[in-house]
Amino acid sequence: MTMPRSCDTFVVLPPLTKNNIVIFGKNSDRPQNEVQEVILSKDRALDSKLKCTYITIEESPDPINSVILSKPAWMWGAEMGANDKNVAIGNEAVWTNHNEGDGDARQKRLIGMDLVRLGLERGDSAEGALDVITSLLEKYGQGGPCSESDDSHFYHNSFLIADPKEAWVLETSGKYWAAERITSGYRNISNGLTIRTKIDKHSEKLQEKAQAMGLWDGKGVFDFTNAFSSGGDEIRQRAGEKLLESGTASGAFDVKDMFRILRDKDSSICRDCDDTFPTLGSQVSSLSSEGISVHWFTATPDPSVSYFKPFVFTPNAAISEYTESPNEPKREHKLYKLHAEHVVRANNDKISKVLQEMEDGCIAEIADFIQKYTKKEKTLGELDDLMKKCVETEVKLYG
């Protein structure tokens, strides 16, 4: 089994952020040449059953949320996304020492990306999404190949779940789990367990079961990572922490600071398209309970040469068909194809500069809109086609 070398999720909370918002960010690093699409799902028809990537589960008995997702085109689930209740979620692959029975990740169950989407569709807050994910995890378990072309690519999962009030880190091993609540400061996760002794929620009788499995001797304070971890990328985890420490030093961290972290090549947080596990999609969300939450997606690989395009949930929100993958073997959507041709393979500095200027313009326009919106000078309907227009402008740039 080949382990990915990169995947990172971050959150920064007040008092370290500008305007006291919560800022979420994630790079999705996946097998080379896998296409990641961005889709908007709203008013999905509900049946009694729901087909996820591998298994069919009970559909939600309640109405579900609208969601915007960045997802590998071949699967039902998503690497990351947000919902219209101001919740954002990303997941990471982790490996643990519980790999038999319910911990056997080779078995086709719910994959971590399914749980991301289900948490967003059914959760109205960060803690609500956490409860959705853990209840489904305990009922159905997790497992199954997480690559369309490599059935040895399987793992357990960790999650970072954020809303405008708080964030939760959820880490799992089979059906066992522990969760840590974050209410201020910053936090990041990479490809390894990080929850130690601060456990704010956990699966039933977690300590007793860990002791029965011989993973804990029952002495001292229970440490989830010590009990269940079989190793992780501690170097990249620490690199992410240092970037967060530096970026938040001013106490005015904003979306541009998160963009910079996701674009950092020296730390391997951002990976080139020729890497074994390149960065195939990126998301940054600014989450506000009183103002406007804005979700930024690249919909193209390598954020250092991509343009973050904004999306806002409005009653009539729409996105471009150019970020949705066709049902064909390569699954390359139009934006992906054009970006690969004109930016990635061409290494065109001129176009990259124009993309950066477009992004800077969007940031300024969004900031101006939010300021005027709070003064009742703007209506949210003006943002219905925000991301759609940005994508189609980028497509026109490529000719």
pLDDT in tens, 145-165: 999 988 889 999 999 999 999
Question: What stretches in the chain show pLDDT beneath 70?
Answer: 1-6
Q: Is residue 7 annotated as part of the catalytic site, yes or no?
A: yes
Q: Which residue of the set 7, 270, 273, 362 is catalytic?
A: 7
Burial class (CB in 10 A: 0-12, 13-18, 19+), 361: exposed
Residues 6+ apart with CB under 8 A from 235: none
Percentage of residues in the chain with pLDDT exceeding 90? 91
Per-residue pLDDT tens over the stretch 28-48? 999 999 999 999 999 888 999
Looking at domain 8-319, what is its CATH homologous superfamily?
Penicillin V Acylase; Chain A (3.60.60.10)
Q: Is the pTM of this model over 0.95?
A: yes
Backbone angles phi, psi at 9, to 5 degrees: -130, 140
Give the β-pairing of 49-51 and 22-29: unpaired
- What is the pLDDT at residue 1? 44
As a whole number, the mean pLDDT across the chain is 95
Residue ranges covered by each domain of the chain: 8-319
Residue type for 323, please?
Answer: T
Question: Element (H or E) spanning 77, and its range?
Answer: none
Q: Are 303 and 344 in contact (CB under 8 A)?
A: no
- Alpha carbon distances (Å) from 169 to 28, 80, 137, 336, 385: 17, 14, 15, 31, 33
Q: What is the pLDDT of residue 6?
A: 66
Q: Residue 399: what pLDDT?
A: 83
**DSSP string covering 82-135:** EETTS-EEEEEEE-BS--SGGG-TTS-SB-HHHHHHHHHHH-SSHHHHHHHHHH
Buried-exposed string 119-157: b where 16+ CB fall within 10 A, e elsewhere: bbbbbbbbbbbbbbbbebbeebbbbbbbbeeeeebbbbb
